[in-house]
Structure 1
Amino acid sequence: MRSSKPVRRSAPRPPPGPGPEVEVTIAEMGGEGDGLAPGPIFASFTLPGERVRVAGTGERRKTLAILEPSPERVEPPCPHFGLCGGCALQHWRTDAYLAWKRERLIGTLARQHIETEVLPIFASPPFSRRRVALHARQGARGEARLGYKIRNSWDLVDIQVCPIADPKITAALPAMRRLAAPLFEHPKSAPTLHVTATDDGIDIDITGVERKSGGLSADARMRLAEQAAAGGFARVSMDGEIAYMDQTAPSVRLGDVRVVLPPGAFLQAVPAAERAMVDFVAKAAAGAERIADLYCGVGTFTFALAQIAPVYAADGSAPAIAALNAAVATAPGLKGVTAEARDLIRRPLLIQEMKKIDLAVFDPPRAGAAEQVVEIAGSKVSRVIGVSCNPATFARDARVLIEAGFVLEQVFPVDQFLWSPHVELIGVFNR
């Protein structure tokens, strides 16, 4: 819906600090989702074409008022928007927002002199994130404050609703506040609850509890377990160490395969996006005879690939590989999976180890796969599929492959982190 409010409206920002007030016209969107005016001046929660009043000094200014709004401006769906640092772009009409993400990806590739077919972007719907990180601060009356950090602050918004999160996570917020209450025995503790909505309930791994003084006392651990049971959580762990678990270990289905998750396991954030990505990778992998699935995690792509050809799977997380191997033992119709816990930065799969591999798939962290890509580039692998959450490092790695004789045939952009500036992608290379 378009906004029905008057043309002259206040932007959702804290009171301005010292500095002169000026009126500027936003020319384009900056890379972090702030409007960019000549100067340069960055103004949060503004859109291209808008005339706005800002205050402050330097490049980053406080937006005081939207004087002439863009026709693409819409009413943000979340009451916390503007204070909460979790979302930056709820005020932008969906089609324009998605087009900006796609064009930003094209621009990132262009900086490495890469031109290719960029497909329409996959858009994750609201209320679909199964994985969120919630920060906790000490509260009162047996409950912690729980939410996302305020924009440009260490303090947090004690959220009541969240239009990006799976409704099961939002429904569990009161129980999670009670769960976090025993975590503040030490003043340096700043806990983060890494929450995953699994097929068997809510799974929580807690980090940021001060441990040098001995960690939580036995009494605090007992209260934590009691609150976990009372809240109906599937599992609660602290830095991977289980503090409470229900009778059924939390699991998810990856295609037709049930995978029991290790504490703190990485998963794609949105199930619908994961399915779209797996389908795309499987289609691009058709006809392969032997596959390497590198940075495989618990098997996001492994099981679909193993229906095509035998797969060698590697990841730096030993618990993830153990979970993958356990799932392989019960998975039907696979052509074979050999999985290894292996640090692919310090010990990438080498050229000589890829003699029989004709397809390499890699899905690294944000830093990219620089060490591994050098080995792939020097091998006789004929096809590569790169999955990335960071277009800049993907473009860097793609340049290495292109200079080795690969062609980037097409890129599939994925908007998995709704209303943020982040965009993910899958690229298909052929030699």
Structure 2
Amino acid sequence: MRRHRPQRARPTDVPAGPAVETLIEAVGGEGDGIAAGPLYAPFTLPGERVRLAAGPQRREVEAILEPSSQRVTPPCPHFGVCGGCALQHWEQGAYLAWKVERLVRTLARERIETEILPAFAAAPGSRRRLALHARQGRKDAARLGFKTRKSWDVVDITACPIADPALEAALPALRRLAAPLFEHPKSAPTLHVTLTPTGIDVDISGVERKSGGLSADARMRLAETAAEADFARVTLDGEIAYLARQPTVRFGTATVALPAGSFLQAVPEAEAVMTAMAADAAAGAERIADLFCGAGAFTFRLAQVAPVLAADGAADAIRALQAAISTAPGLHGITAEARDLVRRPVLAEEMKRIDTVVFDPPRAGAAEQAAEIARSNVARAIGVSCNAATFVRDARTLIDAGFRLERVKPVDQFLWSPHVELVGVFSR
């Protein structure tokens, strides 16, 4: 009989306690300060003495009684209300060291030791991609921004220091673009905004469709606003509502027509660092597999090293990759396949001629695909991850099969968040 395991109480499940003065001992995985109890306090730093309001384990801060020497003035006027950033109050060096230490501790849970390379740190004003929530406002301009802390409401932002200045400057036009999206009371639109070399691309989700979607009048207003703002493209769940220019991106020497709503690394400089590390680690390969390849961010760099088999579950991304092959001279050859790598991973038997594998899965990781890489005769594997926990799980699968994790590079692509990404290089 399976033994029942009691669930751990969440901070909000614990009965409320009185207000307290306490010392912050560390910063936890979600970016909150941790005090004895434990108690969790947002926007606090190690070594600070604070007064916390009465409440459950997760408390609001009433006062910083003794601030840390690492405390800095947050650059954003919305910090503390906006739920987008958690750590703008922390000095850059200490903040980055904390992210690296979190990664080391996650590796240690599976008894994995490796060389940790210097972390890449995204600069302010470098994000080319934002997901902005819209709520009904004035007739000619919606409220637009990020969700507030602990609420479904939206902070109507006027500035965003993580965003590329071109996206920040487009906020007024994006408010006008969202204004006609509220014909149905259940609509809760999100504008997925991407800055590309050919202009701003906007894919809108969350508009109620059961009632017939947007009216012809609303679509006309949408297109007129997009034209006035000189946006490249506007789509509604991938369906074109306005198109002036095809949004494109550069991957290596290739020019790729970006599918509407397609995945794209948030910071171009982070993408460049990760793809360069993968290409360097693949040097000398005879044949490479690029799994979870998307539209080819890694594929085209790898194809400068050796022939590449590229696979991903997004058929539109694979079509874009295939169409871009002709724009990139000097490649060793690319074979691309639309394939669900969770339900139908590339089998070990299919990798007989492949000596190097790159895998860049979504947050859930690549458990099924890692098991096949472990069964194969592949000599090198390069893992790219946006979730250290699932990376470590998949790394353990490879290590148990005879791989060694040689080195890991932390990538701080999502500035001032608790989130850290990485590239890891394995060899047998």
Give me the TM-score of the superposition, normalised by structure 2.
0.95
| 1:251-302 alpha-carbon deviations (Å, 9 max, x no partner) | 1111221111010111110011111111111111101100000000011100
Secondary structure, aligned partner of 1:312:
strand
Partner of 2:261: 264
Query: Is 1:62 the counterpart of 2:64 in the alignment?
Result: no
| 1:114-140 alpha-carbon deviations (Å, 9 max, x no partner) | 111111110110000000100000001
CA displacement at 1:330 relative to structure 2:
1.7
CA displacement at 1:219 relative to structure 2:
1.5
Secondary structure, aligned partner of 2:75:
coil
Aligned counterpart in structure 1 of residue 356 of structure 2, from 339, 355, 359: 359
Secondary structure, aligned partner of 1:387:
strand
Secondary structure, aligned partner of 1:340:
strand
Partner of 1:52: 50
Secondary structure, aligned partner of 2:60:
strand
What amino acid is aligned across from residue 154 of structure 2 in structure 1?
L
Partner of 1:6: none
Aligned counterpart in structure 1 of residue 168 of structure 2, from 157, 167, 170: 170
Contact 2:248 2:257 in 1 (8 A): yes
For 1:366 and 1:201, how far apart are their aligned partners in 2?
A: 29
For 1:44 and 1:263, how far apart are their aligned partners in 2?
A: 36
Give me the TM-score of the superposition, normalised by structure 1.
0.95
Q: Bigger shift: 53-62 or 313-322? A: 53-62
Partner of 2:225: 227
Partner of 1:8: none
Partner of 2:105: 107
Aligned counterpart in structure 2 of residue 334 of structure 1, from 331, 334, 337: 331
CA displacement at 1:57 relative to structure 2:
2.2
Aligned counterpart in structure 2 of residue 186 of structure 1, from 184, 188, 195: 184
Q: Which runs of 5+ in 1 are unaligned?
A: 1-17
Partner of 2:376: 379
Identity of aligned residues (%): 71
Aligned counterpart in structure 2 of residue 316 of structure 1, from 294, 308, 313: 313
Q: Which runs of 5+ in 2 are unaligned?
A: 1-15
For 1:384 and 1:192, how far apart are their aligned partners in 2?
A: 36
CA-based RMSD of the aligned residues comes to 0.9
Partner of 2:13: none
CA displacement at 1:20 relative to structure 2:
2.6
Partner of 1:24: 22
Residue-pair matches, total: 413
| 1:6-64 alpha-carbon deviations (Å, 9 max, x no partner) | xxxxxxxxxxxx86321110000010000000101000000000000111322100111
| 1:61-82 alpha-carbon deviations (Å, 9 max, x no partner) | 0111100000000010111100
For 2:161 and 2:211, how far apart are their aligned partners in 1?
A: 38
What amino acid is aligned across from residue 87 of structure 1 in structure 2?
C
Aligned counterpart in structure 1 of residue 238 of structure 2, from 232, 240, 252: 240
| 1:370-423 alpha-carbon deviations (Å, 9 max, x no partner) | 110111100111100000000000000000000000000000100000000000
For 2:135 and 2:318, how far apart are their aligned partners in 1?
A: 34
The equivalences for 1:26-425 within 5 A come to: 26-246=24-244, 248-425=245-422
What amino acid is aligned across from residue 352 of structure 2 in structure 1?
K
What amino acid is aligned across from residue 28 of structure 1 in structure 2?
A
| 1:227-249 alpha-carbon deviations (Å, 9 max, x no partner) | 11111110000111111010x20
Partner of 2:12: none
For 1:92 and 1:163, how far apart are their aligned partners in 2?
A: 15
